[in-house]
Amino acid sequence: MPPIPELEKIRIAQILDAGLIAITSKGAASTTMDDVCRIAGLSKGGLVHYYKTKRDLFTAVFKEYFKRIFERSAETMAQFDDALDQILSYDWLYDKEDPLVTTGYPLILDFMSLSAHDEEYRLIMEEWINNWVMLLSAALEKGIEQGTFKQMDVNEVAKSISAIYQGIATRWYIGRNTHTRQWAINTYRRGIMGILSPFMA
Amino acid sequence: MPPIPELEKIRIAQILDAGLIAITSKGAASTTMDDVCRIAGLSKGGLVHYYKTKRDLFTAVFKEYFKRIFERSAETMAQFDDALDQILSYDWLYDKEDPLVTTGYPLILDFMSLSAHDEEYRLIMEEWINNWVMLLSAALEKGIEQGTFKQMDVNEVAKSISAIYQGIATRWYIGRNTHTRQWAINTYRRGIMGILSPFMA
DNA sequence: GTTTCTACCGACTGATGAGTCGGAACAAAA
DNA sequence: TTTTGTTCCGACTCATCAGTCGGTAGAAAC
């Protein structure tokens, strides 16, 4: 019988944090279960008690990261009233100082690579994309109500907007020597305004 | 002493093809040297004779693939006279039937993930991006001469255009269930026109 | 007190795969 | 003919690591 009832939650948090640290620093491919044990301060057996396989663990870690990114997106968007401001509120994606962003990008790249060869991972990725798209869709709907935008297929447009954000983020991260924060922000603003231009009221 | 002088070239081509097949089908992470041997129809020793380490081999395979993509880009652009047509000539990136594209995307995703944790790979990636950017820059310059575009920092604009192409490609590939070819083409056209809009003469 | 269940430990196993190495076949050079 | 260098072979070594398993500590149940 469990010594403390909240113990499980504490351990899960410990393990997911450790997994996040390990994967973002070494990469998913070279992160071992022992790495995660060590960082979490648990033994092999302790870790396995909560996640039977490496795959279980990785899946949970990826979901946890996506959850954090999603929460950040929702919070930042909620700070604005105007729908267009909400849609263009993603400057934080290109902030080197932000640990969620900079340390997290390698994890997203790892995950995309895994998704290319693993259907289960790909579905998780699709779900994440879909959540993001829904967030943007809601803002577009709001903009239509507010009279900022004309009628449109909000889902298709939201997919375009999120794809542009993500593409620029990838490029900004990989090509860090030649791609500045200002370049990224200019690019996304112009790109997204291009997407929205047929629908500006 | 070499039996046939062209033998080396033949073997290299054999090995790079095999590497491409292996990596695109199984993923870089789970491709083994033995896989490449088998596909190339060579023994371990034979493979090692040409590429001492797995890293050497992979680097060569990635460069070969980037070369092919670059050639395709240059050829396709060259079919158009008008600069804007050249810049918007990348429909082929979103063609499921094209083996260079569909089978190659997993390889690019793998390589981006490797680049996140490996400086040598990252530099190769940067170089590839730069080649692509130069191709687009040349078209932009041409457009300025032709009077299609106003003066601009062609390099910055070219970086934006290529980032949009790549972002949409990634999304189109990963989110294949929900992202159509037509969506990809519409998105890139509007996005890129948004990038170019301040510079249309 | 005894049993039972959870939480955790860490040594061990078994598989996998990169890189090694001695050698064979063969061609050209000496 | 002998020697030397190239190309290629495939069995072997050795490190790594996911997952296993027998065991312990301690709390609750009986």
Tens of pLDDT, residues B121-171: 999 999 999 999 999 999 999 999 999 999 999 999 999 999 999 999 999
User: Which positions in chain B touch A194 (Cβ < 8 Å)?
Assistant: 190-195, 197
Q: A174 vs B30: CB contact, 8 Å cut-off?
A: no
The answer, for A32 touching chain B at a CB cutoff of 8 Å, is no
Is the pLDDT at A8 greater than 90? The verdict is no
pLDDT for residue B2 is more than 70: no
| CA angle (B188, B164, A83) in 5-degree steps | 80
| B109 contacts chain A (CB < 8 A) | yes
Of A109, A126, A170, the CB nearest to B178: A126
Between chains, do A194 and B190 touch, taking CB under 8 Å as contact? yes
Shortest distance, CA B9 to any CA of chain A (angstroms): 31
Q: Which residues contact A86 (CB under 8 A, 6 or more apart)?
A: A77, A78, A80, A139, A142
Residue B32's alpha-carbon distances to B19, B20, B53, B125, in angstroms, are 10, 12, 11, 22
Residue A16 contacts by C-beta under 8 Å, 6 or more apart in sequence? A60, A61, A64
> Does residue B3 carry a pLDDT above 80?
no
- For residue B8, the one-letter residue type is E
Distance, in Å, from the CA atom of A91 to the CA atom of A169, rounded to the nearest integer, reads 10
Which residues on neighbouring strands pair with residue A200, listed in sequence order?
A149
Q: Provide the whole-model pTM.
A: 0.94
**Distance of A10 CA from C15 C1′ (whole Å):** 34
CA dihedral of residues B60, B65, B71, B77 (deg, nearest 10): -140
Q: Is the CB of A34 under 7 A from strand D?
A: yes
CA angle B81, B83, B89 (to 5 degrees): 85
Nucleotides on chain C that have an atom closer than 7 A to a protein CB are 5-12, 16-23, 26-29
Q: Average the pLDDT over each of A53-57, A123-127, B5-9, B44-48 and give the range with the smallest value.
A: B5-9
Task: Give pLDDT tens digits for B52-102.
Answer: 999 999 999 999 999 999 999 999 999 999 999 999 999 999 999 998 998
Residues 6+ apart with CB under 8 A from B52: none
How far apart CA B181 and CA A48 sit, in angstroms, is: 43
Q: Is A30 on the interface with B (CB under 8 A)?
A: yes
Work out the pLDDT band at A1, boundaries 50, 70, 90.
low
- Say if CB A174 and CB B125 are below 8 A apart: yes
With a 7 Å cutoff on the CB, does A43 touch strand C? Answer: yes
Name the pLDDT band for B188 (thresholds 50, 70, 90): very high
* Nucleotide with smallest C1' distance to residue A51 CA: D19
CB contact under 8 A, A194 and B198: no
Q: Which nucleotide is nearest to B50 (CA to C1')?
A: D7
Distance A116 CA to D27 C1' (A): 47
Beta strand ranges found along chain A (DSSP E) = none
